Structure 1
Amino acid sequence: MTDLPLRDPDPQPPRQQCVALVDDDRNILTAVSIGLQAEGFATRVYTDGETALKALLENPPDLAIFDIKMPRMDGLQLLQSLRQQSTLPVIFLTSRDEEPDEALGLAMGADDYITKPFSQRLLVARIRAILRRSELVRSQADDAATQETTETVVRGRLEFDPSRHQVSWAGKPVSLTVTEFLIVEALATRPGVVKSRNQLLDAAYNEDVFVDDRTIDSHIKRLRRKFRAVDAEFSAIETLYGAGYSFTDG
């Protein structure tokens, strides 16, 4: 009798990525949820910001999509509260007359925004682009964790690890979003060199995200607040009026 070849065990199916949707319009929630499930995503839906915040912190999805205009806690308030404890990737849904809110949302730490009405294809493309970036960050962190040597870059009291997206100041960790980290990295890689707002936008955003260059000013203010939370005397990010920003820690 001929022995049958041993079968390899069935490979584990890839983990299904989860997208949380937060919108008080149930019709939009239903339509977007069905569309994303058809593309292979798991979805969770929430009709108000307060309920969503608790769920997003207790059981984080891979990405969240917020409508800006909601009762009780709108999308901007939800993002502000979320960013105090989480760097979860976030996309905003906005209306055509909400440009100031779009810029504010990006400055507060949103990863992207999409203007309504939008196509399902565009939404899925944006979601996958952000998830690829997040997966790359996680993969780099996992790779770095298996290496004996680290890739930490030291600039005076600043230390940052590009592979792990980790930052510390004077030995104290500073929690940054991916966008904030990319701005710090762009500045600190070449201390003393002035970076224009457009150069920092290029470093921090995908090519298909169009934001006002003044958004960088808001990011810089948030970065200074975060660093000053661990060192009240922090002044390493300098403003050169009319030119841009530079990093120095002499």
Structure 2
Amino acid sequence: MNPTARPAAAPRILLVEDDEVIREATRMALERYGFPVETAGDGLEGLERFHADPPDILLLDVMLPLLDGVGLCRRIREESQLPILMMSARTDPIDVISGLEAGADDYITKPFESAVLVARIRTVLRRTGLALQPAAEAPAVDQRSVREIDGLELDTGAMEVRVAGRQVPLTPTELRLLLEFTAAPGVVLERQTLLERVWDYSWGADSRVVDVHVQRLRAKIGANRIETIRGFGYKLRRAG
């Protein structure tokens, strides 16, 4: 990986981290890879900077003063679907799940190598771009512009979701997940398959990311639409 290679369109990052040493080291590392970076030292400052000039992606520490990372993530999710990558020095499942349930797209555990962080950022950005441009990536099994299953409508051209005629806002990651389910209703999709297709992870990753996003998707489109197949994964129920 070439640290001097500038990402296409130079996506802007808002880094919210209270530890000054980690914040500056991370900022310098990201800028070496060509990312413009704005920083904030606490949750309230992060929220102010977000409102003043929304970034392309938010890199957010879990443990923050004034307003913690989970609270900040939740506040931003109330008004924006921009990609959010959580950082945490703690691997406690409660911390991980809390961040994901608040609306984060993914998380990374500190300490991390800068190359690993950049790879995760690029993966999230690539995933978001694909979710917003489905025409080039629509699964071959279903090329219709509108997929309709028992009152659930997914317009793959406009990237809009409606349930019983009511539009439902989804994050790009949730849209990618729903694209996979609606492309093959009734077919069981394993967690590893979803990690590869939705999160672009070809290696073993934390399946809790899948589980929490499925829970979030269920809360938005209807809890009974996605069935858990114990020991395997999930499937979208067929109409009727």
1:168 corresponding residue in structure 2? 162
Cα displacement (A) at 1:55: 3.0
1:26–1:47 contact (8 Å) kept in structure 2: yes
Cα displacement (A) at 1:107: 4.4
2:104 corresponding residue in structure 1? 110
In structure 1, C-alpha distance between the alignment counterparts of 2:76 and 2:235, rounded to whole Å: 29
In structure 1, C-alpha distance between the alignment counterparts of 2:154 and 2:196, rounded to whole Å: 20
1:247 corresponding residue in structure 2? 236
1:67–1:93 contact (8 Å) kept in structure 2: yes
Q: Does 1:41 align with 2:55?
A: no
In structure 2, C-alpha distance between the alignment counterparts of 1:123 and 1:198, rounded to whole Å: 21
CA RMSD of aligned residues (A): 3.0
Q: Does 1:195 align with 2:204?
A: no
Spell out the pairing of 1:29-108 with structure 2 (5 A cutoff).
29-108=23-102
Structure 2 CA distance for partners of 1:158 and 1:31, relative to 1, 3 Å: same
In structure 2, C-alpha distance between the alignment counterparts of 1:246 and 1:112, rounded to whole Å: 22
TM-score by length of 2: 0.79
Deviates further, 178-187 or 132-141: 132-141
In structure 2, C-alpha distance between the alignment counterparts of 1:138 and 1:56, rounded to whole Å: 21
Give the letter aligned to residue 132 of structure 1.
R
2:61–2:88 contact (8 Å) kept in structure 1: yes
Q: Does 1:210 align with 2:197?
A: no
In structure 1, C-alpha distance between the alignment counterparts of 2:69 and 2:104, rounded to whole Å: 10
1:65–1:93 contact (8 Å) kept in structure 2: yes
Q: Secondary structure at the match of 1:87?
A: coil
Identical positions, percent: 36
Q: How many residues align?
A: 227
1:107–1:216 contact (8 Å) kept in structure 2: no
In structure 1, C-alpha distance between the alignment counterparts of 2:11 and 2:178, rounded to whole Å: 29
In structure 2, C-alpha distance between the alignment counterparts of 1:66 and 1:209, rounded to whole Å: 23
Q: CA deviation digits over 1:164-194, x for unaligned, max 9?
A: 4321112221111122222222222222233
2:147–2:182 contact (8 Å) kept in structure 1: no
In structure 1, C-alpha distance between the alignment counterparts of 2:102 and 2:198, rounded to whole Å: 14
Query: Structure 2: any 5+ residue segments left out of the alignment?
Result: 1-7, 137-143
Spell out the pairing of 1:151-162 with structure 2 (5 A cutoff).
151-162=145-156
Give the letter aligned to residue 211 of structure 1.
D
| Structure with max Cα Rg | 1
In structure 1, C-alpha distance between the alignment counterparts of 2:133 and 2:181, rounded to whole Å: 24
Query: Structure 1: any 5+ residue segments left out of the alignment?
Result: 1-13, 143-149, 229-233
Give the letter aligned to residue 59 of structure 2.
I
TM-score by length of 1: 0.76
In structure 1, C-alpha distance between the alignment counterparts of 2:25 and 2:42, rounded to whole Å: 17
Cα displacement (A) at 1:48: 1.3
1:91–1:112 contact (8 Å) kept in structure 2: yes
Give the letter aligned to residue 235 of structure 2.
S
